[in-house]
Structure formats: structure tokens, C-alpha cells
Amino acid sequence: MGTAMDDVAATFREVYGADPEGVWAAPGRVNLIGEHTDYNDGFVLPFALPERVLAAASRASAGWRVCSDFATAPAEFSDVSEVGAVDGWAAYVAGVAWALQDAGHPVPPANLAITSTVPVGAGVSSSAALESAVLTALIDLGGLDIPVDARPAIAQRAENVYVGAPTGIMDQSASIRCQAGKALFLDCRTLEVEQIPFDVAAEGLAVLVVNSNAPHQHVDGEYGARRKSCEAAARILGVPALRDVAADDLDAALERLDDEVMRRRVRHIVTENQRVLDTVALLRSGRIREIGPLMTASHASMRDDFEITVAEVDVAVEAALMAGAYGARMTGGGFGGCILALIDAERADAVTAAVTAAYHRHGFRAPTSFVAVPSQGATRL
């Protein structure tokens, strides 16, 4: 059996009858801390996973053809000027070509073959990985001069405008800008980044990812509702975004809001931004274990104030903590998906067993788990 790179190149050859000009890769991500803060102009701290999307690609004379392991028949489109003309998984590809063109870049016609090891529907950004792999391939094939820090916003526009999901900029930033062994401290307002060393293995630690395998329900509507509520609160408070409410001013801000639900949403965002800053400060001084309580506090805030967790993720966090995790929290947009647990590396099996036993007691579908290794962002292979 060949490598994933050989496999995607072989698929390309089978479908298009020639070798690809190149193969590009972009990873999924988990977010260590800082949830729903991105569209509030706040702070996030994701890292890239080894699981990634591969895109084998070549320039073509006209139009775009895309085959993938998501579908048997290749998708074809000759024009990307109309938003929404392509649907299904290929919309992420057409959306990237549209966003490049809309930003004034001469996007090259291309043939692409896509494979992926990023789990879909697990909240680890399989769609951002797809967008980022295609974007990186098209930029290189077209010889387009687009600095790396300007790329996530193009992929985000594909998702927001073409696909129609009102997400922030974290996932595309993680997929494009992360580095191996580092967590990406991103200021979602200025788009400045700091690569924070995150060598958990050197400390005898691991980040265990447990996929709740809970069916995602109402994700789009609830996500959009959270975003609207945050934006409405910022308007009432007279600030450009909730990022502008400092943790010390939280109580005064809450007094100015009548709506109890809105108060809880604001409290989550303001305290979560502070937790990201506190986490970064601890990591800068090498105190990795001490970020555990911040992770756990983040989870409580998502559960009680932002109300984006489900029973499966709450049970997984609780079981991981009972089994000795330093901290645990849901990661990603919510309503299912994965949790992260910071654990002693040799406890991975024991913590997984503890979560599995708790799921069994609750009658939940069995979880799956893996150890997350901070990996490289989008690149040509």
C-alpha cells in the first residue's frame, strides 16, 4: 500500500489520465481554548491535527473538475461567478474559486482529486481543511501573490458567502497558519499570530481527543443564533465587538443588559477571551499542566452560559476529569463533536475506557478517541 500522497496522485492519474502537477495538504484542527470568540473579534488557540485533506491538482485549459473520496462521479463547473451554483461537497471547492475570483485574482482553471483523513461531522474542521487545501493548490498553480496571512479570509468567504455558514475565521486560520509542535495564538481582530510552543509529549502529557459521536442537531441555526445574540449585545453596549468588553468591566456591562440569556452569552465570551490570554501566559512560561483548570472552566462556561454542549460531551468531560485528566472541555462549534482532555500520556487508554464505561451507563453510542499531535498547516508536499 502506498502513502496517502501516492494514493491521491494515483486517483488523479486514473481520472485525468496524467500525473498531477503537485499535491497539496491542509489539516483539520482542534481548539485548545477560545470557543465562539472568533466572530467576536477575540482570541483563539487552535492547533492543527495530523489528519488532513490532500488535493492533487493540475492546471486545465478551461473550467474545474473535481473528484474525491466523498463522491464517485467528478463534479464539473465552468463558471464560478454565481454564488451557490454548485452544491454538496463540491460547493467548498467552487466557493474557494469564487472567493479568489471575487477578490480580484485570476483563478486558474484546474483538475483536482481530493482525499481526506479528517473525520466529517466531528467538529474538527473537515470543511476548512478542504477549503484550505484547494485554496493553497489554486494559489500555487496560478502563481498568485497572496500572503499567507491574507489567505484564511478568502477561504472563510467561501464558507460564509458561497456555502452559507456564518462561521468565524478560526478554522481556516488554523488549517493554513498552524505549525508543528505549536498552538496558534490568533487575535481575530488584527489577525496577528504568535506560535506558542506546545510540546505536550516532552512533559509526559497528551491531549486526548474523544469524539462524542453524538448526532449533530440544529448546529447551523443555533450557531447563527449565538452569533446574532453576541452582535446585538455589542450594539447595546456601544462597542464594535464583545472583545472590547474587558474582563474587569464585565459586571458593569452585564448590568446594562436586560435580557438574562444575552447576559449569559456575554459572560461566556468575555470570560473565555480572558481564559485564552491566561492559557497563553501559562504556556509561554512552560506551565502546561496548569492550563487544565482553565479548560475545565471553559467547558462549564460553554455548558451553562453559552449553552452549546450536549449530554454526551458533558458526560465525556466529567468522566475524563474523574479518570484524572488535568482539564477537559468540548472543542469546536458545539452541539456534539469532540472533547479534549489534557492527561498524563500513559493514561490515554484508561481515560478512554472511563469515558466508554460512562457512555455505556448512559446508553450513549460508543465514543472514539485519539491522541492529538500539534501538526503543520497547509503546505505543498
Catalytic positions = 171
Among 20, 95, 152, 333, binds ligand GAF (CB under 6 A): 333
177 in contact with ligand GAF (CB under 6 A): no
Q: Which stretch binds ligand GAF (CB under 6 A): 66-74, 162-170, 237-245, 369-377?
A: 162-170
35 in contact with ligand GAF (CB under 6 A): yes
Query: What are the CA-CA distances from residue 41 to residues 154, 180, 205 (Å)?
Result: 17, 25, 31
* CB closer to ligand GAF, 327 vs 333: 333
Q: E strands of the chain, at which residues?
A: 22-31, 43-44, 46-59, 64-68, 71-77, 110-116, 182-187, 193-197, 205-211, 327-331, 338-344, 368-372, 379-380
Least distance between ligand GAF and beta carbon 159 (Å): 7
279 in contact with ligand GAF (CB under 6 A): no
Number of residues that bind ligand GAF (CB under 6 A): 11
41 in contact with ligand GAF (CB under 6 A): no
- Residues numbered 308 to 327 that lie near ligand GAF (CB under 6 A) are none
Cell of 259: 435580557
Least distance between ligand GAF and beta carbon 31 (Å): 6
Cell of 254: 452585564
Least distance between ligand GAF and beta carbon 273 (Å): 12
What gap in Å lies between CA 349 and CA 85, rounded to an integer? 47
Least distance between ligand GAF and beta carbon 342 (Å): 18
Among 332, 367, 374, 377, binds ligand GAF (CB under 6 A): 332
Cell of 305: 452560559
By the 8 A CB rule, do 12 and 56 touch?
Answer: yes
* CB closer to ligand GAF, 175 vs 352: 175
Among 20, 28, 108, 168, binds ligand GAF (CB under 6 A): 168
What gap in Å lies between CA 17 and CA 279, rounded to an integer? 50
Q: Which stretch binds ligand GAF (CB under 6 A): 53-61, 112-120, 165-173, 357-365?
A: 165-173
Among 170, 174, 330, 341, binds ligand GAF (CB under 6 A): 170
167 in contact with ligand GAF (CB under 6 A): yes
95 in contact with ligand GAF (CB under 6 A): no
358 CB-side CA count, 13 A: 22
By the 8 A CB rule, do 308 and 264 touch?
Answer: no
Beta-bridge partners for 183: 196
Bridge-based pairing of strands 46-59 and 71-77 is: unpaired
What gap in Å lies between CA 197 and CA 280, rounded to an integer? 10
Give residues in contact with ligand GAF (CB under 6 A).
Answer: 31, 35-36, 38-39, 167-168, 170-171, 332-333
